[in-house]
A and B are shown apart, each in its own frame.
Chain A
Amino acid sequence: MPTQADASAHKKRTFRKFSYRGVDLEQLLDVSSEQFMDMVNCRARRKFKRGLKRKPMGLIKKLRIAKQNAPENEKPEMVKTHLRDMIIVPEMVGSVVGVYNGKTFNQVEVRPEMIGHMLAEFSITYKPVRHGRPGIGATHSSRFIPLK
């Protein structure tokens, strides 16, 4: 079952070759959907198994067009989407996607290491909390301090 292509044992894929579960990028692009399902983790596999009517058809088409129109050695133009639940497929690598987080479209450049994750993971939906000074009433002890 685990026979991925030859296991390229390079784990550091930043400057060395990238491999997803032992398969290189070029080979990943040729892989069929069923084989990709085997490689990916179970959440992604479930999504493919269930929704193969492919709601994201529109997104993938637009990504392809944007990639074709892009001048060489430049990033393709941003394709906006609300589809945060879209799993990143090898085909999408290299595109720039604007992922909606409720308010704005966060620009995400899809890199090969992101394969198998969902678009939503890269577009944070909340502003990280920076606590201010706790006010009166925040703890039990400070509740009955008179106002003046």
Chain B
Amino acid sequence: MVGHSLVASQPNQFQHILRLLNTNVDGKVNVMFALTAIKGVGRRYSNIVCKKADVDITKRAGELSTEELERIVDIIQNPLQYKIPQWFLNRQKDHTTGKYSQLVANGVDNALREDLERLKKIRSHRGIRHWWGLRVRGQHTKTTGRRGRTVGVSKKKG
């Protein structure tokens, strides 16, 4: 029941919408789930970040103090320094830099675009499939994936 009572929090302003890492984070929601609004941060990652930050998990996101928020942002961006294991991260052994990191927010979109660009530049088969808008992973395309592509027959008269 502790999580529900807003009355018990300190008189510092309760923020209804926070802004973290270039995304809007909902303040009314529990911390762990509020952080998932950031791209690249899912429930599991959010959980471990909160734990490393010594933030009370039962709190709502709006109740956190600014220094706690700063700590959280710091941990999200430098996970290895705060002893989050490598296998937890979403960008492991990066193809060009070899680093282990957790991509968040804009980084996720950028990395995706760069990966696709790389494949296309190399003219690898995967890149070409992406270019054409077809399935890349070897699926059968005869009958599935129709939403984008329509097939039709016209009634020919004789």
In-complex Cβ contact of B121 among A113, A133, A139 (8 A) = A113
Question: Is B122 positioned at the interface, with any CB of A under 8 Å from its CB?
Answer: yes
Type the 1/0 row for A1-41, where 1 means its CB is closer than 8 Å to any CB of B: 11010011111011000011111000000000000000100
What's the least CB distance linking A84 to chain B, in Å? 11
In angstroms, Cα B100 to Cα A148, docked, is 68
29 contacts between A and B (CB under 8 A): A1-B86, A2-B86, A7-B97, A10-B96, A11-B96, A11-B97, A19-B97, A20-B95, A21-B95, A21-B96, A22-B96, A22-B97, A22-B98, A39-B93, A113-B122, A114-B124, A121-B122, A121-B125, A128-B132, A133-B154, A134-B151, A134-B152, A134-B153, A136-B153, A136-B156, A139-B153, A141-B153, A142-B155, A145-B156
B123/A122 in contact, CB under 8 A: yes
Question: Is B83 positioned at the interface, with any CB of A under 8 Å from its CB?
Answer: no
In angstroms, Cα B122 to Cα A122, docked, is 8
In-complex Cβ contact of A23 among B86, B98, B153, B158 (8 A) = B98
* Inter-chain residue pair count (beta carbon < 8 A): 78
What's the least CB distance linking B129 to chain A, in Å? 10
Question: Is A111 positioned at the interface, with any CB of B under 8 Å from its CB?
Answer: yes
In angstroms, Cα B157 to Cα A148, docked, is 8
Question: Is B118 positioned at the interface, with any CB of A under 8 Å from its CB?
Answer: yes
In angstroms, Cα B152 to Cα A113, docked, is 41
> Chain B binding site: helix, strand, loop or mixed by DSSP?
loop
Question: Is A138 positioned at the interface, with any CB of B under 8 Å from its CB?
Answer: yes
Question: Is B99 positioned at the interface, with any CB of A under 8 Å from its CB?
Answer: yes
A2/B122 in contact, CB under 8 A: no
What's the least CB distance linking A74 to chain B, in Å? 22
Contacts of A10 in B (CB 8 A): 96
Q: Which residue of A lies closest to B92 (CB)?
A: A2
Binding site for B on A (CB under 8 A): 1-2, 4, 7-11, 13-14, 19-23, 39, 111, 113-114, 116-117, 120-122, 124, 128, 133-136, 138-139, 141-142, 145, 148
Interface size bucket, B side?
Answer: 20 to 34
Contacts of B93 in A (CB 8 A): 2, 21, 39
Contacts of B94 in A (CB 8 A): 21-22
Q: Which of A13, A116, A122 has the most CB of B within 10 A?
A: A122
Question: Is B74 positioned at the interface, with any CB of A under 8 Å from its CB?
Answer: no
What's the least CB distance linking B57 to chain A, in Å? 30
B132/A21 in contact, CB under 8 A: no
In angstroms, Cα B132 to Cα A24, docked, is 32
